[in-house]
Chains A and B, each alone.
Chain A
C-alpha cells in the first residue's frame, strides 16, 4: 500500500500532478468548443505550428508562451489568407501550413538548441517543469477559464449558429478570434504537459467523450473539464511508474475513457444503439 504513496513523497511529482490537472481541466473545457465547432484539425495544426515560435523564444531567451502565441496566430492568419486567396480546400491548406511551420521549428531547434530541448518540446517534460513555466501555465489557464466561464453562452451560440449571433448584434468576428487565441494559448500550456505531438488529444478527446455522454451543452462542459482534470491527475501520478512518460500516460488514459464511453454510453454508445435496433426489430 505504501508503495502507491511513493510518488507523493517527491516534490517534483506533486508539482507535476497539480500542474497537469490544471492544464487538463483547461484543455478539457476548451475541447467542448473545439469538437463542436469542427476545429479538431485546426487544434492539431495550431499545436504544431507553435513550435517555431517556441524555438525562437528559446533562442532569444523570451518566455515560450509569447513566441508560441505569436506563431500560432500567424499560422491561423496564414491559413485564412491562403483559403481566401486560392481554390485549395481547407483541409489541404491546414495540412500545408502547419507542416511548414512545424518543419521550420525543427530546423531552428536542431540548429540552435540541443536534442534534449527538441525532445522536451515534442514530448513535454512536466516532471522537470521550471517555476517560470508553471507561472505561464497558471496565467494561461486562468485567462482561458475566466473568458470561457464568462462568455461560454456567446461562444456556444457562435459554434451552433454564427448567423443568429450576428443578427443579435454579437460580434461573430471577435468571438472567432477569441476562440482561436484561446486555442493557441492553451496549446502552449498543453505543450508543457504532453508535448507538441499529443496536444491535440488533450484538446479533442475530452470533448468528444463528453459529447457521447450528454445532450446538453452545459453538462458537456462539466464532463469534458472533469475528464481532463481526472485523467491528467491520474496520468501524471501513473507516469512515476512508467519512466516519466507523462504525456503518453495522460493521453492513453483519455483514450481508455473515450473507448468506454464509445461502447457503454447510455444513449450514444454502440451497445445502446444495438439495443435500439433490436427493440425496433422486435416491435410488430
Chain B
C-alpha cells in the first residue's frame, strides 16, 4: 500500500488568511505532516485554529501561501473525498430530523451517483463504520436522542464511511465521558496505523501527550511544530498561551514519603497536563509513546 492515496502528506506552506473586515487571522503559518500521525492543534481561542482548519478544508482561500495534500491543491483533493471532518458538538443541529444511519450515509454522498441513491457498497461501508464505533444498535435513533459520547461517535462513523485519509477533528472530547474518550483514542490509533493523518484541534492540554505523537502550537501563526516530547514543553506552551494557563506547583513538601511519593490530581472535565522534574512530560500511557519514539528515531536513521 504505497499509492499516494493511502499515504497522504499534508503541507501547509506560508499560509496567511485575512478576512474582509481586515482582520489578519493567520500569518505565514507553515507545517508539514507525513502519513500515519495523530497531531494536536493547540492554541487559545482566537489563535487561528479554526481558520487553519478552514483553509485545510478549502473553505477560506489563503491570501498568501498554499495548502496542499499529496502535492495537490485542496480544492482538487476535496473532489476525491480524502478530507473528512468531524464537527464540534455545538456546530450541529441535533434536532434535525435525521437518524444515526442517515448521518453516517452522508459520508458516502461524494462517492454516490447524481441522485445519491446508496448502492450495496455504500450500505456495507456505513454498517461497517457504525459497528466499528459500536453505534450499530442505535442506527435508527434520531441524533438528538444520543448521549454526548454517542453523538461524537456518529460523526466519527461518518468520517470512517467517507474513507477520509486526512481527518480533522474539532474538540473531539468536549462533553464526552472517559470511556468514550478512550474508545475514540483507540480508534484514532488504528487509523494512524492505517496511515491516516489525523489533526485534532483541542484546548484539552492534558490529553495531548496521551495520544498525539505530534503537536502544532499556534497563536496567529505556527509557533512550533513537531514531536510532542520536543514541542509540548512548558516554555512553548507559555508562549502559545501567554499567561492564560492556570498553574499549580507541587513542591518537595507536597510529595511525601508516606504517600508512596504519589500525588493524585482530580479535575472535573479536562485532563490536567503534568510536567515532571526538569519539565519532562508525564504520560499515563507510556508504552505506546515509547514505541512511537523508537519508531520515529529509526525512521530518522
Contacts and interface: CB of A to CB of B under 8 A. Distances in A.
Contacts of A220: 97
B227 to A, nearest CB: 28
A84 B162 CA distance: 33
Nearest to A152: B116
Contacts of B115: 150, 153
B106 interface: yes
Interface string A208-229: 0001001111011000000000
A276 B118 CA distance: 36
Contact of A167 (B84, B99, B114): B84
Contacts of B218: none
B110 A217 contact: no
Interface string B66-105: 0000000000001111011101000111001111001000
Contacts of A160: 93, 96, 98, 106
Given A168-B162, A169-B79, A163 B85 contact: yes
Contacts of A217: 96-98, 102
Q: Tell me whether chain B's interface is mostly helix, strand or loop, or mixed.
A: loop
Given A153-B109, A153-B116, A168 B99 contact: no
B85 A164 contact: yes
Q: Which of A159, A161, A164 has the most CB of B within 10 A?
A: A164
B233 to A, nearest CB: 33
B243 interface: no
B20 A84 contact: yes
A154 interface: yes
Nearest to B75: A169
A211 B57 CA distance: 32
Interface in A145-173: 150, 153-154, 156-157, 159-161, 163-170
Contacts of A272: none
Contact of B98 (A165, A166, A216): A216
A113 B254 CA distance: 89
Nearest to B108: A168
Contacts of B99: 215-216
Nearest to B76: A169
B199 to A, nearest CB: 13
B57 to A, nearest CB: 5
A161 B106 contact: yes
A168 B142 contact: no
Interface string B50-70: 000000011100000000000
A161 B92 contact: yes
B37 to A, nearest CB: 20
The 9 closest A-B pairs by CB, nearest first: A168-B110, A215-B142, A153-B116, A169-B78, A169-B79, A167-B85, A215-B97, A217-B97, A160-B96
Given A154-B116, A160-B98, A168-B162, 14 more contacts: A153-B115, A160-B106, A161-B87, A164-B87, A164-B107, A165-B109, A167-B58, A168-B109, A169-B110, A170-B109, A170-B110, A215-B97, A216-B102, A220-B97
Interface of B: 20, 57-59, 78-81, 83-85, 87, 91-93, 96-99, 102, 106-107, 109-110, 114-116, 142, 158, 162
20 contacts: A153-B115, A153-B116, A156-B98, A160-B93, A160-B96, A160-B98, A160-B106, A163-B57, A163-B59, A163-B85, A166-B57, A166-B58, A167-B57, A167-B85, A169-B78, A170-B109, A170-B110, A215-B97, A217-B97, A219-B97
